[in-house]
Chain A
């Protein structure tokens, strides 16, 4: 089996992979008629929904490599036909995670450094790679790490010397995952002709069913603790809307909305439910963090950030006239509740 081939079929989002497909003269019609690639494509998407990670299989021969390679553009078509922003993100993340795990496995078996070199080059990342560390220009670093929320990824907490950020190899692989996510999600959803989507209806139905099962209720947020979401300030409503749509929101916004809702009387369970739509939802981690903010462990409950802090982090969105009269989102809420109580029919 071709070495290049077996590499590309594991990382089918690389430009070289789509070129390979093009060069081999395979067209969409081929793909659609290739039942095995079609099934593998559906598996990719369903695995993404179920586990959040598209595992890389063991590749036995050229036939399987070709199927694996073809199934990727096909999976993109399936995702695009369904055209659901949550699925798009979930799928892209799962592809990136699958690649990440494969690279880490390769590292453990000793062939990883080679893969890392190739991937960095193919993904257009300027990196100086050696066995004990990787140097990345800060501009590349920032673009890759901007969505990583843990404080250790903040530039200020990195070794930055003469414009280069120093990372250990595992950290660099984590950045590769980010780059891959960006690559996969780029262009999604594709503009797929209706007749193609129609011809794939059976697969699409199965995926939709899986989607409905795997995903929590996505109804508008309703609190059961007697909180009144209609009286929340615009900044908090905006974060809730993003959460509901499965948009990945920054850490500062997560903290703000969590602290706000807990202070507004929601229970820990209710707050956790809100995060279920996040593409990277992890219940244990979310529970830990929400409980921490609620003071379940330490006894000190955090209060929500003030308007000034919200502004600092760019979370003050959709300011209205009531905002001019208050300096804290919770004051907005209290004031609005009071006003509503006075005018029950407004």
Chain B
């Protein structure tokens, strides 16, 4: 990023911060803050200034207005001494924060467009919200949903009941969302008549509904297709698959299954677990097979401050209502800059759809774009201000 470009982007951020209604988190004074500034090293060398603390909302907002940072973060945790070095802060508790990012969800990022990634991650966020409201019993008002300004969503829960949870307890919540360690057997009870009863609560309910849906789908398919479909979903052999089809097509058996009683196949112990495995895959919150998890159990991490700007996209870290997520379009709704003409020189090929308009840039060309698109490309590092 050339100096003129950096100055221009910085000025844009400053204008935003001077007028925006910033929404600091609760207990500002007990949180650690971290910032990346548009200093002369930015963005070649990103220096995170951590361990800052503010006594009040006003002090924080004044600081942000003065520096207009490229990135602004606060701790999920609250501390007795937030500005002290890590070992001496005295941890008092931490918000429960879920951080869903596209690169935790798919492992082959290049294959998707930015828009597609945002759609994928939105779907995972909706599943997560479903878990939080139904299983975990939170009210919508307990959840603060935020678009991350880049490729994901954050959910903050600040209720007192979760603040004291340690990282192992949080890890259990993560495992719940991702179905890690889920065992069908935990929800099966042996009835006196030799059948199995599926307890339809918690994950048991999801497994139950998935099972019924799966069997109905199978029943409606021609035999050969059904076999293929079952084997693909469960990895069973042909003979086992045929047994499943027989069940799915038998109305009496299906009625019993729908009332929660599963025939106990001594010969086919794999049937139910196989189906359960396939159900689990579709309804759990996705976490690509990698160690960094989709939601966090780190109780000392920093998270982007809602209502700040994301320095690598110029998009707003935007809070939204839970029921607004379905219609939320970050590439429209998180755009904050205006549309005066800005002239750019393109350094790398790039494209994006913003506010419904498709912008495609080719390396080497000079283009005039509305400010919001120009800011996006400059922040991405694919274009420089033409002076």
Measured CB to CB, the residues of A under 8 A from B are 137-139, 142-143, 146, 151-152, 154-164, 166, 250, 308, 311-312, 314
Contact of A161 among B161, B167, B201 (CB under 8 A): B201
Chain B 155-168 interface 0/1 with A at a Cβ cutoff of 8 Å (1 = within): 00000011011111
Contact between B165 and A142, CB atoms less than 8 A apart? yes
B166 and A163 form a contact (CB under 8 A): no
* Distance from A136 Cβ to chain B, minimum over Cβ atoms (Å): 12
Residue of A nearest to B167 (CB): A314
Quick check: B179 and A156 within 8 Å, CB to CB? yes
Contact B135 A154 (CB under 8 A): no
Beyond A146-B168, A312-B291, whether A151 also contacts B186 by CB under 8 A is yes
CB distance from A152 to the nearest CB of B (A): 6
Please, how many angstroms separate the alpha-carbon atoms of A311 and B171 in the complex?
13
Q: Is there contact, CB below 8 Å, between A160 and B201?
A: yes
Cβ–Cβ contact B169 & A143, under 8 A = yes
CB–CB B173/A142 < 8 A = yes
Which chain B residues border A250 with CB–CB below 8 Å? 168
A163: which of B138, B175, B179, B180 is its contact (CB, 8 Å)?
B138
Instruction: State which of A142, A160, A311, A314 has its C-beta within 8 Å of the C-beta of B202.
Output: A160
Residue B204 interfacial (CB < 8 Å): yes
* Nearest CB in chain B: distance from A99 CB, A: 23
Chain A residues, CB < 8 A from B247: none
**Identity of the chain B residue whose Cβ is nearest the Cβ of A309 in the assembled complex:** B291
B183 within 8 A of A: yes
B176 close to chain A: CB less than 8 A: yes
B66 within 8 A of A: no
B197 at the interface (CB under 8 A from A): no
Contact for A155 among B134, B162, B175, CB less than 8 A: B175
- Give the residues in chain A near B181, CB-CB below 8 Å: 151, 154, 156-157
Check B98 for interface membership: any CB of A closer than 8 A.
no
> In the complex, what's the smallest C-beta–C-beta distance from A250 to chain B, in angstroms?
8
B199 within 8 Å of A by Cβ?
Answer: yes
Nearest 6 pairs of A and B residues by beta carbon: A163-B137, A157-B186, A159-B201, A162-B137, A142-B169, A160-B202
Contact B199 A143 (CB under 8 A): no
The complex places the Cα of A163 from the Cα of B167 at a distance, in Å, of 19
| A155 in contact with B172 given A137-B161, A161-B135 (CB within 8 Å) | yes
Return chain A residues, CB-CB under 8 Å to B290. Answer: 308
7 additional A-B pairs beyond A138-B137, A142-B165, A155-B176, beta carbons within 8 Å, are A137-B161, A142-B172, A151-B186, A154-B175, A156-B181, A159-B187, A308-B291
Provide the bound-state CA to CA distance between A250 and B171, in Å. 13
Task: Verify B173–A155 contact, CB threshold 8 A.
Answer: yes
Expressed in whole angstroms, the minimum distance between the Cβ of B138 and any Cβ of chain A is 7
Contact for A311 among B175, B180, B204, B291, CB less than 8 A? B291
The residue in chain A whose Cβ has the minimal distance to the Cβ of B287 is A312
For window 114-157 of chain B, which residues contact chain A by CB distance below 8 Å?
Answer: 134-138
Give the docked Cα–Cα distance between A151 and B175 (Å): 12
Q: Encode B203-243 as 1/0 by CB contact (under 8 A) with A.
A: 11000000000000000000000000000000000000000
Whether B288 is near chain A, meaning CB under 8 Å from some CB there, is no
Give the docked Cα–Cα distance between A161 and B137 (Å): 7
Q: How far is the CA of A159 from the CA of B203 in the complex (A)?
A: 7
For A161, list chain B residues within 8 Å (CB). Answer: 135, 137, 201-202
B253 on the A face (CB < 8 A): no
* A63 to B136 CA separation, bound complex (whole angstroms): 48
B-chain residues with CB within 8 Å of residue A158 when the two chains form the complex: 186, 202
Q: List 9 A-B contacts (CB under 8 A).
A: A142-B173, A146-B172, A151-B186, A155-B172, A155-B173, A159-B204, A160-B135, A160-B176, A161-B201
